Structure 1
Amino acid sequence: MQKSTNVGQAPIKKRKRMKIPHIYVLLFLISAVGAIMTYLIPAGEFERTPGPDGRETIDPESFAQIESSPLSLIEFMTAIPRGMIDAGEIIFFTFIIGGMFMVLRRTGIIEVGVDRLARKFQTKSLLIIPILTTLFAMVATIIGTPELSLVYIPVLMPLMISLGYDSMIAAAIALISTALGFTAGVMNPVTVGISQQISGLETFSGLGLRVVIFIVIVVIGCWYMMRYAKQVKKDPISSLTYEDDTEKRELYKDERDKEPQPLTKRQKLAVGTLPIFFIILVYGVTQLDWFMIEMAGLFVFMAVIVGVISGLTLTKISEAFTEGFREVLMGAIIIGIARSVAIVLEDGQIMDTIVYGLGSIVGQLPGVFSALGMQYVQLLINFFIPSGSGQALVTMPIMAPLSDMVGVTRQTAVLAFQFGDGFAHIIYPTSGYFMAALVIAGVSWEKWVRFFFPLFLIYMVVAMVFLIFAQMVQWTG
C-alpha cells in the first residue's frame, strides 16, 4: 500500500490575493501622506488673476516660495470634518438622488418601466449598451456634466439586473459613457472651452480630431462593456458583484413570463410629468448654469410631486426619502473624506509647489515626450484637483506658454490636458461624484478598479497614440 508523501509536511496554504484596504482607510492614509509632505515640500504659491468667465486663474510667472506652514496636528484632525463641509454640495446631492429614487420606486412606475424595457430588449439586450453609452456620451461631450451619471444609475440599475446583467454594468454604462464624452470634449465648455481661452486659441477649434477621438474611445468602451456583459449573461457567477447583487436580483427578478404589469391612471399621470422635469433639468444646466444645488432642489420637487400624483401620502414620501438617504450614507461619507486630501495640501500651501514642479519636469523633456509628459503630469495633478475646470485654471496658464518653449502646439497641450484630466475622473477615489455614483450603484471602489483598470490602460495607450500623431503633424486645429 502506497504511503502518503505528505506525512510530516506542513499543509499547503492557498495564496491569498492582496486585499485593497477599505476605502476609508485608503483615503485616510493618503491624507496622512499629504500631511507629511507639508513638512518635506517647500511651500509656494502663484498669484491669482481674473480668468475666463470671471473665474480665478494663476499668473504662471509669479511662482514664489513662501514661509513654510506644515500641517499641525489640529489641522490634520479637522481635515475630514472640513472636507465634509467643503464637499457639502456633492454630499447633499448624493442624499437627494438616493431619496428621490426611493420615492420613485415606491410609486411603482420604475418597476413597470423596467418590465416594459426588459421585454422590448429581451432578445437583443446587448444592443442597449452601445445605444445608451453613445447617447450619454453625446450629452456629456456637449454640456460637460459627467455628474449626470448620478441621475442615470438609479434608472439603469433595475433594467440591467432584469436583463440578466449586474450592478457593475449599470455603473459602467453611466460612468464610462459620461467620462468618455467629457474627455473627448467635442464642445465641452468646462474643459476644452476654458483651456482654449486660456491658451489663446479659438474656442472649440480642432473640432475634427476631437470628433474622431470621440468615436474611437466610445467604440472601445462599448466593446469592453459588451464583452463583460456577455460573460455575465452566460455565467452569472463570473460577475464581480454577484454576491452583492443577491437582494437586487430578488427585487428586480425577471417577470417577463407573467402578464405585463399595467399602469394605473394615477401612475400614467405621474409618468407624464417626468419629461417636464427632464426638460427643466436640461434647460437649467445648459442655459442657467445650474449645478448640483439647483439640480438637487429640482429633484426634491420632482419626487414630491410625482409621489403625490401617483397616490403616495406625504408620510410615505418622507419615509421613502429617509430610506434612500440610508442607502447612500457611506458614499456621502467617502466624498467628504476624499475632499480632505486636497484640504491637507491647501492648508500646507504645497499644491502650487507640486504643480510648478511637475510643470518644470515637462520643460526638460524633448519633442514628442513633452506632449506625453504633459498628459501624465495632468494625470497626476487630477488626483489632487479632481475638477476639470479647476484643473484647467491652475495648469493651463503654465502648460500653454511651456508648450511654445518645447515645440508642442498649444492645441496639443489642450489635448494632453483633456486626456490627463478626463479618464482619471472614474478611477481616483478623490473624485467626489464618481465615488457617490459607485455607492448609488452599490459597487465598491475596489471591485470597480478590478473591472475598469484594464480599460483605463487601453485608454492611456490610445491617448498616447493621438498625442504622438498631433505632435508629428504639429496640430493647430
Structure 2
Amino acid sequence: MEKHIPQSVTPEPMPQPEPQKSRGRMPHIYVLLFLISGMSALLTYVIPAGSFERIPGPNGRETIDPDSFTQIDGSPLSFMDFMVAIPRGMSDASEIIFFTFIIGGMFMVLRRTEIIEIGVDRLARKFKHNSVLMVPVLLTLFAAVATTIGTPELSLVYIPVLIPLFISLGYDSMTATAIALVSTALGFTAGIMNPGTVGISQQIAGLDTYSGFGLRLLVFVVIVTIGSLYIMRYAAKVKTRPKESLTYTEDKPKRLMYKDALNQPMKPIHSRQMAAIATLPVFFAILIYGVTQLGWFMLEMSGLFIFMGIVVGLIAGLSLTKICEAFTEGFREVLMGAIIIGIARSVAIVLEDGQIMDSIVYGLGIAVGQLPSTLSAIGMMVVQLLINFFIPSGSGQALVTMPIMAPLSDILGVTRQTAILAFQFGDGFAHVLFPTSGYFMAALVVAGVSWNKWVRFFLPLFLIYMAVGMAFLIYAQSVGWTG
C-alpha cells in the first residue's frame, strides 16, 4: 500500500538529542520490576513470617480468618528461590499473559480486514469539528461498563481502536491511552455494581449486596467529571501545540499513517466488510453476558476473542493463512507486555514464598488501629493503597483485607460501608499507577507508551483523586454512612 505524503507538508526536523535529560532517565521497566522483586526477597530476611488460616469465602472464593494470625518459622528466600520467581510468575499469571497475546492477535486480524480503519475514518469525520467532546462521552461509556461488570482489563480492547482514531483527529497516543485506562479504573473504583470488589466486600462485611448505591453513584459522577476535564485539558494542549505531547516522538510513525486521513477521500466499504462489522456487536453482547451471567474471566474471554478473530476474518474475506499470519504478528507486538505481566507477578510470588504477605497485611491493619478515630477511614485508604502494590487484584485484595478491615472498623467507630469505600479508593486508582499491575503494564505496551511518561501524565490526576477520596471518606465518617 503506497503512503500518501502531501506536497504541502514540510518534513519534520529530526528531534535533537537531549543528553541532559538522559542522565535522569528512569531504568527500563524490566530493571525496575526486577529491583522491586529483589527488594521483596530481602524483606523476607527482615519481616517475621506469619500466616492467616484460609476459610471458604463468598462465591466459593477462599478468604482469611482475621483472628487466626500466627507467627511461624521464617523461610527467607534462597538465591535459587529468587532465580525461579520470574518463571513462576509467568506460569502463575498465564491467563492474563495468554489474554494479552490473544488481544494483540485478534486486533491484528481486525486491522488486516481494514474494518478498524473504516470505523475510525467515519468516526473521525463525524466528530471532526467537535472532537474533544469524544473524551467525556467515551470516558463515561467505558467507566459505566467497568463499574457494572468489573473488568478494567477491557482497556486492552479499547486502546488499539482509540489510538488511530485520536491521532487522526490531531491528538496523541497518550490521550487515547488515558481514555481507556482512566475510564476503566474510575468505573472499577466507583464500583456501583462491581462484583469483584464491592460485591465480595459487602458479602464479607455482612452488608446487603450493592447497598450504598446513592453515594457510590455520586462518587462515579464526580471522578468521571474530573477525569474528563483533566484529559480534555491535555488533549486541547496537544491539539494546538503538538510538540508538547508526551508521546510526540513515539507517535511520529502513527501520525504519518493516520493524521492526514481526513484530507483523503472516504474509505470505501465492501459488502463482506459490512457483514464483518455487523458481527462485532454480537460478539460484544456475548462477552457482556458471559462476564455478568456466567462468571467469565480471562480464559473464557480469550477463547471468545480467538473465535471472534477467526469468524470476522473469514467473513471479511481473509484466508485462514492470512488470519494465522495476522495472529502471529499481533502476538509479536504485545510480547513485551506479556513478559512484564510475568515479571510483575514475581513480586507477589516472592512475598508469598517468604511467608510475609500475611505479615504485611496484619501489620498494616494494626497500624490503622493506632490512628485517631477522625483519621481512621483515611488510614484505611492509605493501607489499602500500600497493599495494592503487592496484591494488584481487586478481588484478591478484598478477600485478604476485608476480613480484617470490616471488624476493625467496628472497633474504630467507622461504618463497614465506609471501610469498603476506603478499600475502593485505595485499591482502584492505583491499578493504573503501580508497575505491579499486570494488565495495566500490558496496556501501556500495546499503546506504545512508556511507564515513565504515563506517570508524568497521570500522577497529578492520581493525587487529585486521593484528595477527592479523602473528602468522601471524611463525609461518610461524619454522617455515619451505612448505605
Q: TM-score, normalised by structure 2?
A: 0.95
Give the secondary structure class of the aligned counterpart of 1:39.
coil
Q: 2:448 aligned with 1:442, yes or no? A: yes
Which of the numbers 365, 386, 391 marks the counterpart of 2:392? 386
Look up the match of 1:276: 282
The 8 Å contact of residues 338 and 429 in structure 1, kept in 2 or not, is answered as yes
Look up the match of 1:6: none
Give the secondary structure class of the aligned counterpart of 2:434.
coil
Unmatched 5+ stretches in structure 1: 1-12
State how far apart, in whole Å, the 1-side matches of 2:136 and 2:83 are.
Answer: 46
The amino acid across from 1:438 in the alignment is L
What are the superposed Cα offsets for residues 315-353 of structure 1, whole Å, 9 maximum, x if unpaired? 111111111111111101100000000000000000000
Q: Which moves more between the two structures, 72-81 or 277-286?
A: 277-286
Stretches of 4+ moved more than 4 A in 1? 13-17
State how far apart, in whole Å, the 1-side matches of 2:357 and 2:262 are.
Answer: 55
The 8 Å contact of residues 44 and 64 in structure 1, kept in 2 or not, is answered as yes
Unmatched 5+ stretches in structure 2: 1-18
The 8 Å contact of residues 386 and 430 in structure 1, kept in 2 or not, is answered as yes
What displacement does 1:293 show? 1.1
Look up the match of 1:148: 154
The amino acid across from 2:358 in the alignment is D
Which of the numbers 396, 419, 422 marks the counterpart of 2:425? 419
Look up the match of 2:252: 246
Look up the match of 2:313: 307
What displacement does 1:104 show? 0.7
Number of aligned residue pairs: give it: 465
The amino acid across from 1:98 in the alignment is G
Give the secondary structure class of the aligned counterpart of 1:91.
helix
State how far apart, in whole Å, the 1-side matches of 2:292 and 2:21 are.
Answer: 53
Look up the match of 2:270: 264
What are the superposed Cα offsets for residues 222-254 of structure 1, whole Å, 9 maximum, x if unpaired? 000000000000011111111111111122233
Look up the match of 1:220: 226
Q: 2:357 aligned with 1:360, yes or no? A: no
State how far apart, in whole Å, the 1-side matches of 2:307 and 2:403 are.
Answer: 41
What are the superposed Cα offsets for residues 274-317 of structure 1, whole Å, 9 maximum, x if unpaired? 11111111111111111111111111111111111111111111
State how far apart, in whole Å, the 1-side matches of 2:374 and 2:187 are.
Answer: 26
What are the superposed Cα offsets for residues 416-440 of structure 1, whole Å, 9 maximum, x if unpaired? 0000000000001111111111111
Give the secondary structure class of the aligned counterpart of 1:217.
helix
Look up the match of 1:48: 54
Percent of aligned positions that are identical: 74
Look up the match of 1:112: 118
Which of the numbers 429, 432, 443 marks the counterpart of 2:438? 432
Look up the match of 1:324: 330
State how far apart, in whole Å, the 2-side matches of 1:197 and 1:15 are.
Answer: 50
Instruction: Decide whether aligned partners of structure 1 residues 15 and 255 sit closer, same or farther in structure 2, where only a CA change above 3 A counts.
Output: closer
Q: 2:58 aligned with 1:82, yes or no? A: no
The 8 Å contact of residues 335 and 435 in structure 1, kept in 2 or not, is answered as yes
State how far apart, in whole Å, the 1-side matches of 2:144 and 2:21 are.
Answer: 45
Give the secondary structure class of the aligned counterpart of 1:289.
coil
Superposition pairs of residues 96-107 of structure 1, within 5 angstroms: 96-107=102-113
State how far apart, in whole Å, the 2-side matches of 1:14 and 1:196 are.
Answer: 52
What displacement does 1:262 show? 1.4
What displacement does 1:218 show? 0.3
Superposition pairs of residues 174-253 of structure 1, within 5 angstroms: 174-253=180-259
What displacement does 1:18 show? 2.4
State how far apart, in whole Å, the 1-side matches of 2:21 and 2:145 are.
Answer: 45
The 8 Å contact of residues 51 and 358 in structure 2, kept in 1 or not, is answered as yes
The 8 Å contact of residues 38 and 69 in structure 1, kept in 2 or not, is answered as yes
The 8 Å contact of residues 163 and 254 in structure 1, kept in 2 or not, is answered as no
What displacement does 1:189 show? 1.2
What are the superposed Cα offsets for residues 96-126 of structure 1, whole Å, 9 maximum, x if unpaired? 1111111111111111111110000000000
State how far apart, in whole Å, the 2-side matches of 1:269 and 1:407 are.
Answer: 59
What are the superposed Cα offsets for residues 432-462 of structure 1, whole Å, 9 maximum, x if unpaired? 1111111111111111001000000000000
Instruction: Decide whether aligned partners of structure 1 residues 94 and 362 sit closer, same or farther in structure 2, where only a CA change above 3 A counts.
Output: same
What displacement does 1:258 show? 2.5
State how far apart, in whole Å, the 2-side matches of 1:380 and 1:423 are.
Answer: 12
The amino acid across from 2:218 in the alignment is V
The 8 Å contact of residues 169 and 259 in structure 2, kept in 1 or not, is answered as no
State how far apart, in whole Å, the 2-side matches of 1:326 and 1:84 are.
Answer: 17
Q: 2:415 aligned with 1:409, yes or no? A: yes
State how far apart, in whole Å, the 2-side matches of 1:113 and 1:311 are.
Answer: 17
The amino acid across from 2:289 in the alignment is Y
The amino acid across from 1:113 in the alignment is G
Look up the match of 2:37: 31
State how far apart, in whole Å, the 1-side matches of 2:307 and 2:207 are.
Answer: 42
Which of the numbers 60, 70, 79 marks the counterpart of 1:73? 79
The amino acid across from 2:372 in the alignment is P
Instruction: Decide whether aligned partners of structure 1 residues 470 and 191 sit closer, same or farther in structure 2, where only a CA change above 3 A counts.
Output: same
The alignment yields a C-alpha RMSD, in angstroms, of 1.1
Look up the match of 1:470: 476
Look up the match of 2:27: 21
State how far apart, in whole Å, the 1-side matches of 2:282 and 2:200 are.
Answer: 31
Instruction: Decide whether aligned partners of structure 1 residues 434 and 15 sit closer, same or farther in structure 2, where only a CA change above 3 A counts.
Output: closer
The 8 Å contact of residues 153 and 437 in structure 1, kept in 2 or not, is answered as yes
Instruction: Decide whether aligned partners of structure 1 residues 226 and 55 sit closer, same or farther in structure 2, where only a CA change above 3 A counts.
Output: same
State how far apart, in whole Å, the 1-side matches of 2:436 and 2:426 are.
Answer: 15
Give the secondary structure class of the aligned counterpart of 1:57.
strand
Q: TM-score, normalised by structure 1?
A: 0.96
State how far apart, in whole Å, the 2-side matches of 1:52 and 1:14 are.
Answer: 54
The amino acid across from 1:437 in the alignment is A
